[in-house]
A and B are shown apart, each in its own frame.
Chain A
């Protein structure tokens, strides 16, 4: 098109002077300041020592210790931190691919404002000043008009709740929707109402028997590499046996000594029949049951007698003789025996009640908090940073819908549907590392609601990537990812000694990304004003953390925050693993001013005159017992019999609750479940090139018998239909699945989340090639055909309950 000659070239040069004189734009380059400073060396041809910075991974929630290596300002490698007491230097592929999260070419690096219709994809870069003023302006207006409760905060992976709770308590909204019930909410509720803690901590390294129900720690777990390395250790060092009940031959099932395919949602029947065998065969721990639970051996025997192995076989498909044999093996190793259980149990309509059946196995053999048994999590405590705003007392129908009074972890899958129903009026919807439009069931419905400006008038997304939901936002605040920010972290310790870890900045936030808790929240608070700013008088995040560490004098004596910066993690190396914490005596000074009730429960009145649990009288001694959860009064003992459940009309004793949709299935109907693979985490890793190169295409697993019946063969494209929709996916025919079940892996099949995850060309222009993503198939995401279902007790999404038909496409 150009008739470019030397003359024209030079003419353009002359004509450009004026444009240059404008002096507009950014100046990217500055003179090197070597001379000014006298001696900065820029001759960088030699290999320099890489700087290693210890931190904590967040590619999933496990919180493994990592060391990030930085060279030339670039994060070049992540490896495990050997000092971390949980992960002990081990990290998985996801952790190593964290490098890709920083340098995803589709990261959002600048604040963006939508300029077209919502979801149209038309944006304009704006400055942080403009972005913060806009968001704060709307928030201030809402708050000043007395309606802070029309603000909804929805978060996915949030490890800075200390900061977000502070902000939203100060702001005054009760609507904080987490993502627990699309994960493990019912498991947590079940355990909290039973023994006061939301999770168990299987002491797998010292166990002799692991009974695994629907958990896949060899591939994914809330403490993935920390747990699986201990299972391996237990098997190698103690010859521990691993028996897995799973609808599918997971990698864990494949590595187990025995695998039993089980019909979805019937694990509880197997567990109860085992409990029955253990009671019948006198293999239980009588003293433990009588001392530490609220039921007697006789009551239990009587209750469990109905659950025979033969009955369980009919329900679950697991042979009665195996149920009886394994029950005896498990109890025979007591107390060094433990169960594992996860979404195979809790992500069902009957999740809470079923999880209680699994935990009962540990209770009756007395392996609770024993070496090699079913441990009680022991986390560190952080001190409050004052002044701290009061908890918002307003009720939230979105977070705690009235139909689900026991669902204490919110019912997050109902958040948007309840907004649609008009349960709460919403003026501002803010998300943080959240992807309603991908991660949730019936995600087409979620997308529709997010698009509706009448239901959600203003949508602010704090995110680093263009997720399916963030694409629908009105304004995007680019988030600094976990490798670019600093805060304390803690988790349940497998070493049975509490630890404190530091997630610290390894590289500076890329572009103009800013940390939510370090920058965005304090800046918004200052701009909203009205008293909010007083809760940010603490100074920097370092000051905040220093106060938090005030409850740990042992760490402070070793250097406090400086120690953490250097090592990434701290625990008291003089402490021995604390087993049987419930049998420890309450210190005499803690008994001052307490009273004991007729059941021996010792309490003390707090500043507001409310009784606070201190311990329990057992055989004339004041022992620590099982500290009740704040939501459920378990009275210091293990509540095998749950008054709370009884009051709400649910079975008070562990029992089997059939899943209504699974009864009387038609001949062509199958049950569809979901699973996770070993290189991905939910919605948030498909943008990592190193991971998606390994796993990018999923398939629907189906048993050969089921396939033959439908005339389907391996590799066929099939249509899966549920009551909310249809989706196509490739079929994988395998004997590694229960015959009446089909199953698919999540994490892939993105329609957004950047070029690597979605496989979309970088532009719509036809002649633009993008050869850097070499794989063509991205798999399918079947959440769109999974209906929103709720465990009526714990509120979990029934991911594993979907009834489908499968036909050739």
Chain B
């Protein structure tokens, strides 16, 4: 593999790290003042525009405090309840109770959650002690992709091609076996349900980005020829 190739791969991994970081941040908890300020940066808005995404003038003009409140209330309504909400957990969407051939349960902490948690630990992470959520929360799953991409970047930079290939394979696996199994449906539901432009756009963007990324990561995995043992 040429040096140029390796550098380019490191760069792509770095940019993918950023994307997953952004998406994870959107879903992990409410938007806070610092994050909102960054989201309202012209550069970011312009990039979104190039993607065909317009958050609208209102997004830039609404007073910060009011916007934070609106976003927090909508985040609560969409993802936390109480009452009707879209639980952002893999288990609620796909999990059976035993992980075997039984019917889908739609409950928290199902067999899928255990699998996600196992995977997190296998790749060398664990839930932060002060994180109150559940391992298969959308924000955690996207955050894991961010971490793996970050490591991949480091591996490319260090010229450790085997390690980089292993990390690509892990991302490929996690996307296929977890994220793609439920996040597209979840994002569609969020986009259909939300009354807030920001969350509608971000849900659609998330859906598109993970589908796109899966294409590119699968290609890369093929190219570096490491198949995971999962």
Do B124 and A763 touch across chains, with their CB atoms under 8 A apart? no
- Chain A residue contacts of B125, Cβ below 8 A: 29-32
Q: How far is the CA of A72 from the CA of B51 in the complex (A)?
A: 42
Given that A2-B52, A476-B82 are known contacts, is A19 also in contact with B22, CB under 8 Å in the complex?
A: yes
- Chain A residue contacts of B64, Cβ below 8 A: none
Q: How far is the CA of A21 from the CA of B84 in the complex (A)?
A: 34
Do A34 and B47 touch across chains, with their CB atoms under 8 A apart? no
Interface residues in A365-391 (C-beta closer than 8 Å to B): none
Interface string of A9-21 (1 = CB under 8 A from B): 1111111111111
Do B22 and A8 touch across chains, with their CB atoms under 8 A apart? no
A44 within 8 Å of B by Cβ? Answer: yes
Do A765 and B192 touch across chains, with their CB atoms under 8 A apart? yes
Given that A2-B208, A30-B129, A124-B76 are known contacts, is A20 also in contact with B37, CB under 8 Å in the complex?
A: no
Do A689 and B133 touch across chains, with their CB atoms under 8 A apart? no
A592 within 8 Å of B by Cβ? Answer: no
B161 within 8 Å of A by Cβ? Answer: no
Given that A25-B35, A108-B82, A511-B133 are known contacts, is A767 also in contact with B192, CB under 8 Å in the complex?
A: yes
Do B28 and A17 touch across chains, with their CB atoms under 8 A apart? no
Do A124 and B72 touch across chains, with their CB atoms under 8 A apart? yes
A74 within 8 Å of B by Cβ? Answer: yes
Do B87 and A29 touch across chains, with their CB atoms under 8 A apart? no
Contact of B133 among A28, A466, A756, A770 (CB under 8 A): A28
Shortest CB distance A758–B (Å)? 9
Do B73 and A124 touch across chains, with their CB atoms under 8 A apart? yes
Best-surrounded residue of B75, B125, B139 (most CB of chain A within 10 A): B125
B218 within 8 Å of A by Cβ? Answer: no
Do A689 and B107 touch across chains, with their CB atoms under 8 A apart? yes
- Chain B residue contacts of A752, Cβ below 8 A: 83
| Interface 9-residue window, one of A99-107, A140-148, A258-266 | A99-107
Shortest CB distance A725–B (Å)? 25
Q: How far is the CA of A645 from the CA of B42 in the complex (A)?
A: 81
- Chain A residue contacts of B140, Cβ below 8 A: 28-29
Do B139 and A109 touch across chains, with their CB atoms under 8 A apart? no
- Chain B residue contacts of A9, Cβ below 8 A: 15, 19, 209, 212-213, 216
Do A102 and B109 touch across chains, with their CB atoms under 8 A apart? yes
Shortest Cβ distance from B205 into A: residue: A2
A404 within 8 Å of B by Cβ? Answer: no
B114 within 8 Å of A by Cβ? Answer: yes
Do B84 and A761 touch across chains, with their CB atoms under 8 A apart? yes
| Interface 9-residue window, one of A115-123, A411-419, A422-430 | A115-123
Q: How far is the CA of A9 from the CA of B206 in the complex (A)?
A: 12
Shortest CB distance B64–A (Å)? 14
Interface residues on B, range: 35 or more
Do A125 and B22 touch across chains, with their CB atoms under 8 A apart? no
Do A19 and B39 touch across chains, with their CB atoms under 8 A apart? yes
Q: How far is the CA of A19 from the CA of B28 in the complex (A)?
A: 14
Do A762 and B85 touch across chains, with their CB atoms under 8 A apart? yes
Do B124 and A74 touch across chains, with their CB atoms under 8 A apart? no
Interface string of B104-115 (1 = CB under 8 A from A): 111111100110
Interface residues in A220-266 (C-beta closer than 8 Å to B): none
Do A125 and B124 touch across chains, with their CB atoms under 8 A apart? no
A617 within 8 Å of B by Cβ? Answer: no
Interface string of A513-534 (1 = CB under 8 A from B): 0000000000000000000000
A307 within 8 Å of B by Cβ? Answer: no
Q: How far is the CA of A756 from the CA of B104 in the complex (A)?
A: 13
Q: How far is the CA of A124 from the CA of B122 in the complex (A)?
A: 35
- Chain A residue contacts of B204, Cβ below 8 A: 1-2
B177 within 8 Å of A by Cβ? Answer: no
Interface string of B2-22 (1 = CB under 8 A from A): 000000000010111111011
Interface residues in B75-90 (C-beta closer than 8 Å to A): 75-77, 80-87, 89
B164 within 8 Å of A by Cβ? Answer: no
Interface residues in B122-136 (C-beta closer than 8 Å to A): 122, 124-129, 131-134
Contact of A6 among B118, B131, B216 (CB under 8 A): B216
Do A4 and B87 touch across chains, with their CB atoms under 8 A apart? no
- Chain A residue contacts of B67, Cβ below 8 A: none
Q: Which residues of chain A have a CB within 8 Å of any CB of chain B?
A: 1-4, 6, 8-34, 42-44, 71-75, 100, 102-110, 112, 115, 121-125, 466, 470-471, 476, 510-512, 689, 752, 755-756, 760-768, 770-773
What are 11 contact pairs spanning A and B, CB under 8 A?
A13-B14, A14-B47, A25-B25, A29-B143, A31-B124, A106-B85, A110-B132, A115-B73, A512-B132, A763-B84, A768-B86
Extra contacts, 7 of them, besides A34-B124, A74-B114, A103-B107 (Cβ < 8 A), are A12-B18, A18-B41, A31-B125, A33-B126, A43-B122, A122-B77, A766-B192
The 8 lowest CB-CB distance pairs between A and B, nearest first, are: A13-B15, A772-B106, A15-B47, A763-B193, A16-B18, A765-B192, A765-B193, A42-B121
